[in-house]
């Protein structure tokens, strides 16, 4: 039975979830009423756990104006959610940022983490996922992915499997001095232990692999002898490894703390484990563990994210819910996690969430062009929203902000388009600090062709510039002076919302270039120019999408236009001046986009509705399926 222990200890009982290749879709614990300060405020000043049901193994970052959350899926897809508010993560759309079809690392994904690391080319995010094999959904290994740029949403490229020869899970990073270390968990005999090794890069180990924690105390051996989920936190020049202890299928899963007291983290004697757990069941929350740490938007608070059950009879399954709560530090410099906060207890939101704050929101940069004047939206020196020549205009990020709405973030100064006094009759529009207000959220409503109306969530006024270069908000939604279009200026990838794979010129992967009539397919991101595109506006909100591998050819239907409309016509690259080479981008309520051909009015789609490399791309009648949903993601300039 020993061979089964790695699977039992971390969820072989969950293998019924299978290898799905399609989307699936500390004192007072008495509840208190949430407080809302302003009728236009997006979310109250408090929230309640659980953050999200079926939220096992949560990992959370606040970064550049958004919270980002991942949780275990038990499928072949990595899911990330984002929201400008912590409570909003519960209803935030699931973004499939990567998927697996390689049999050696395709299935039954657990315990995603994503870490920002500085690399020679700049900051990159590294996702660590515990992935199983197709044969039996077991045999888990740590797998590393790297982002194309600074956006946690990717796209992501497979970089490696640090230890492909044996079962290993729950990988994480530890930066110490000038070195990068990898920490993880595996079985040694009857003990599941945590280990450490130095890294030459974020996906390659070097040198010895040493055990630094193992089960020692009675409270670490409930169900099975388990140490897992090691995570590092530092405070006032002290470094702590916090790990989960005991079997996750028991109510006694909990957190232990180990302090780095020596100089060399590779040496077991450099680590001191405290003899009592630091976080255990309480207040109706059972098995609290598999955690991470994040800081509040203003950087003043430390927060714990973890999963826990609401019943002692629940175990290692989808009953585990993601939860978050702040923690403090003792006078001795130790983390004070307290007790789990009870379900439905109102907790103040992380400090700074309600603003005011500036945020350099991640995403594709666009010009926002006014249809009548052909000038573009900018912020003047006083913060007013005005029109100016597009060559000198500000760039913006069109950022999904929950409930089907968007916010328009200034990429130069981190402010947001705001209808002042949107709860009243005010019409002034500025670009202001984020204050978590519905005066700063808008729906992007199709007008005609590729043009949009920008409608405030609260007032239902639309942004317009009718008689001057000043932008106002007013109710005459159907005037031509209320029409806008969004023109991407970033090099971008088009990522399918189901597979996480990107729109690619097929033969370009081997030839290194793109030529007219080459087929277009989905393929996992490899940083190839064959997967990168540059938009050029034409008229009426339409654009061409030129291949970076050969700017003379663009995404097209058919190739050379034949004037015929085929409902399921093939996509290729063709000369950019072909009528079939123009597209419009529509922003959907779930944060995705649909790409519609100008010649036919049909939408791009993954033909066979799979996550597989090489699945063909076609145009088809819009059916609002995930196979027709795409994300535009920024690729940084080299």
Task: List, for residues 110-119, the tens digit of each pLDDT value.
Answer: 999 999 999 9
Question: To the nearest whole number, what is the mean pLDDT of the chain?
Answer: 91
- Whether 24 shows a pLDDT value over 60: the answer reads no
| C-alpha distance from residue 286 to each of 108, 192, 229, 343 (Å) | 24, 21, 17, 11
- Whether 14 shows a pLDDT value over 50: the answer reads no
Domain boundary among 488, 511, 528: 488
- Whether 588 shows a pLDDT value over 70: the answer reads yes
Is residue 38 in some structural domain? no
Displacement of CA 443 from its chain's centroid (Å): 21
Do 497 and 483 lie in one domain? The reply is no
Do 329 and 206 lie in one domain? The reply is yes
Q: Between these two residues, 466 and 510, which has the higher pLDDT value?
A: 466
Is residue 247 in some structural domain? yes
Do 542 and 611 lie in one domain? The reply is yes
Do 285 and 379 lie in one domain? The reply is no
Ramachandran angles phi, psi of 39, nearest 5°: -65, -20
| Measured distance CA(35)–CA(21) in Å, rounded | 43
| C-alpha distance from residue 375 to each of 178, 378, 415, 486, 536 (Å) | 49, 9, 20, 12, 16
pLDDT tens digits for 267-308? 999 999 999 999 999 999 999 999 999 999 999 999 999 999
Structure-token pair, residue 399: 């950022």
Worst-scoring range by mean pLDDT, 98-112, 242-256, 581-595? 98-112
Domain boundary among 466, 488, 510: 488
Do 477 and 503 lie in one domain? The reply is no
CATH number at residue 397: 2.80.10.50
Q: Does a cis peptide bond (omega within 30 degrees of 0) precede residue 575? A: no
pLDDT tens digits for 40-84? 899 999 999 999 999 999 999 999 999 999 999 988 899 999 999
Worst-scoring range by mean pLDDT, 8-17, 124-133, 387-396? 8-17
pLDDT tens digits for 313-368? 998 888 899 999 999 999 999 999 999 999 999 999 999 999 999 999 999 999 99
Structure-token pair, residue 583: 């597209």
Q: b vs e for 182-195, b when ≥16 Cβ sit within 10 Å of the residue's Cβ?
A: bbbbbbeeebbbbb
State percent of the chain over pLDDT 90. 82
Q: For the chain, how big is the Rg over CA atoms in Å?
A: 25
Residue 559 confidence (pLDDT):
64
Structure-token pair, residue 439: 């005066």
Residue 423 confidence (pLDDT):
81
Q: How confident is the model at residue 15 (pLDDT cuts 50, 70, 90)?
A: very low
Q: b vs e for 3-13, b when ≥16 Cβ sit within 10 Å of the residue's Cβ?
A: eebbbebbbbe
**Bridge partners of residue 63, in order along the sequence:** 66
CATH number at residue 112: 2.115.10.20
Is residue 33 in some structural domain? no
Q: How confident is the model at residue 637 (pLDDT cuts 50, 70, 90)?
A: confident
Is residue 25 in some structural domain? no
Residue 564 confidence (pLDDT):
63
Beta strand segments in 53-178, E:
59-63, 66-70, 77-83, 95-99, 107-119, 122-132, 141-147, 156-160, 169-176
- Whether 1 shows a pLDDT value over 70: the answer reads no
pLDDT tens digits for 398-419? 999 989 999 999 999 999 999 9
Residue 558 confidence (pLDDT):
83
Q: Which residues are catalytic?
A: 57, 228
- Whether 224 shows a pLDDT value over 50: the answer reads yes
Q: How confident is the model at residue 553 (pLDDT cuts 50, 70, 90)?
A: very high
| Measured distance CA(68)–CA(63) in Å, rounded | 8
Is residue 291 in some structural domain? yes
- Whether 477 shows a pLDDT value over 80: the answer reads no
Residue 103 confidence (pLDDT):
87
Residue 22 confidence (pLDDT):
38
Is residue 230 in some structural domain? yes
Is residue 357 in some structural domain? no
Domain boundary among 348, 381, 398: 348
Q: Is the pTM of this model over 0.85?
A: yes
Q: How many domains does the chain have?
A: 3
Do 430 and 378 lie in one domain? The reply is yes
- Whether 104 shows a pLDDT value over 50: the answer reads yes
- Whether 602 shows a pLDDT value over 60: the answer reads yes
pLDDT tens digits for 424-473? 766 789 999 999 999 999 999 999 999 999 999 999 999 999 988 999 99
Residue 23 confidence (pLDDT):
35
Residues 6+ apart with CB under 8 A from 593: 585, 586, 587, 629, 630, 631, 632
pLDDT tens digits for 140-187? 999 999 999 999 999 999 999 999 999 999 999 999 999 999 999 999
Do 449 and 505 lie in one domain? The reply is no
Do 316 and 413 lie in one domain? The reply is no
Do 444 and 566 lie in one domain? The reply is no
- Whether 36 shows a pLDDT value over 60: the answer reads no
State the pairing for strand pair 335-336/346-348.
unpaired
Residues 6+ apart with CB under 8 A from 517: 559, 572, 573, 574
State the pairing for strand pair 406-410/396-400.
antiparallel
8 Å CB contact between 272 and 261: yes
Q: Which domain holds residue 478?
A: 365-488
Residue 142 confidence (pLDDT):
96
Do 211 and 307 lie in one domain? The reply is yes
- Whether 34 shows a pLDDT value over 50: the answer reads no
Q: How confident is the model at residue 548 (pLDDT cuts 50, 70, 90)?
A: very high
Do 178 and 203 lie in one domain? The reply is yes
Is residue 369 in some structural domain? yes
Q: How confident is the model at residue 541 (pLDDT cuts 50, 70, 90)?
A: very high
State percent of the chain over pLDDT 70. 92
**Bridge partners of residue 417, in order along the sequence:** 431
Q: Between these two residues, 19 and 582, which has the higher pLDDT value?
A: 582
Do 509 and 393 lie in one domain? The reply is no
């Amino acid at each position: 039975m020993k061979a089964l222990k790695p699977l039992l200890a971390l969820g072989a009982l969950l293998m019924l979830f299978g290898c799905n290749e399609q989307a699936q879709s500390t004192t007072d614990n008495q509840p208190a009423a949430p407080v809302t300060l302003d009728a236009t405020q997006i979310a109250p000043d408090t929230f309640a756990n659980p953050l999200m049901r079926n939220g096992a193994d949560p990992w959370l970052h606040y970064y550049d104006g958004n919270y980002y959350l991942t949780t275990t899926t038990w499928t072949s897809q990595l899911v990330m959610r984002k929201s400008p508010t912590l409570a909003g993560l519960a209803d935030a759309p699931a973004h499939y940022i990567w998927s697996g079809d390689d049999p050696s690392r395709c299935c039954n994904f657990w315990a995603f983490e994503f870490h920002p690391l500085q690399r020679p080319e700049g900051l990159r995010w590294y996702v660590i996922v515990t992935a199983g094999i197709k044969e039996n959904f077991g045999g888990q290994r740590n797998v590393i992915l790297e982002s194309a740029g600074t956006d946690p949403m990717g796209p992501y490229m497979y970089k490696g499997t640090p230890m492909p020869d044996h079962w290993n899970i729950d990988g994480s990073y530890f930066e110490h001095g000038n070195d990068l270390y990898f920490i993880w968990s595996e079985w040694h005999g009857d003990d599941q232990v945590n280990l450490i090794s130095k890294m030459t890069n974020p996906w390659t180990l070097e040198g010895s692999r040493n055990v630094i924690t193992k089960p020692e105390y009675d409270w670490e051996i409930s169900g099975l002898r388990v140490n897992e989920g090691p995570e590092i936190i530092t405070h006032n020049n002290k470094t702590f490894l916090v790990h989960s202890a005991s079997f996750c299928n028991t109510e006694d899963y909990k957190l232990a703390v180990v302090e780095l007291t020596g100089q060399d983290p590779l040496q077991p004697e450099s680590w001191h484990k405290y003899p009592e757990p630091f976080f255990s069941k309480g207040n109706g929350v059972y098995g609290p563990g598999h955690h991470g740490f994040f800081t509040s938007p203003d950087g003043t608070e430390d927060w714990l994210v973890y999963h826990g059950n609401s019943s002692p009879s629940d175990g290692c399954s989808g009953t585990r819910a993601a939860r978050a709560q702040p923690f403090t530090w003792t006078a001795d410099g130790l983390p004070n996690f307290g007790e789990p906060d009870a379900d439905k207890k109102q907790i103040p939101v992380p400090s700074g969430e309600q603003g005011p704050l500036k945020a350099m929101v991640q995403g594709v940069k666009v010009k926002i062009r006014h249809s009548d004047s052909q000038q573009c939206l900018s912020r003047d020196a006083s913060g007013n929203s005005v029109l100016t020549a597009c060559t000198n205009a500000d760039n913006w990020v069109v950022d999904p902000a929950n409930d089907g709405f968007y916010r328009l973030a200034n990429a130069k100064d981190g402010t947001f388009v705001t209808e002042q006094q949107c709860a009243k009759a005010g019409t002034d529009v500025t670009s202001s600090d984020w204050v978590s207000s519905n005066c700063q959220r808008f729906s992007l409503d199709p007008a005609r062709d590729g043009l949009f109306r920008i409608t405030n969530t609260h007032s239902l006024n639309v942004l317009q510039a009718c008689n001057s270069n000043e932008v106002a908000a007013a109710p005459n939604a159907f005037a031509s002076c209320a029409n806008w279009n969004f023109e991407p200026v970033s090099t971008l990838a088009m990522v399918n919302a189901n597979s996480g794979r990107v729109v690619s010129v097929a033969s370009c992967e081997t030839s290194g270039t793109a030529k007219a009539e080459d087929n277009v397919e989905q393929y996992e991101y490899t940083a190839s120019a064959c997967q990168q595109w540059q938009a050029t506006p034409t008229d009426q909100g339409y654009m061409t999408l030129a291949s970076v591998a050969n700017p003379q050819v663009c995404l097209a239907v058919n190739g050379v236009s034949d004037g015929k409309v085929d409902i399921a016509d093939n996509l290729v690259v063709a000369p950019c001046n072909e009528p079939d080479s123009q597209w419009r981008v529509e922003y959907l309520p779930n944060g995705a986009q649909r790409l519609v051909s100008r010649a036919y009015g049909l939408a791009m789609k993954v033909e066979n509705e799979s996550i597989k490399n090489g699945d063909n791309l076609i145009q088809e009648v819009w059916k609002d399926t995930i196979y027709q949903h795409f994300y535009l993601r920024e690729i940084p300039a080299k």
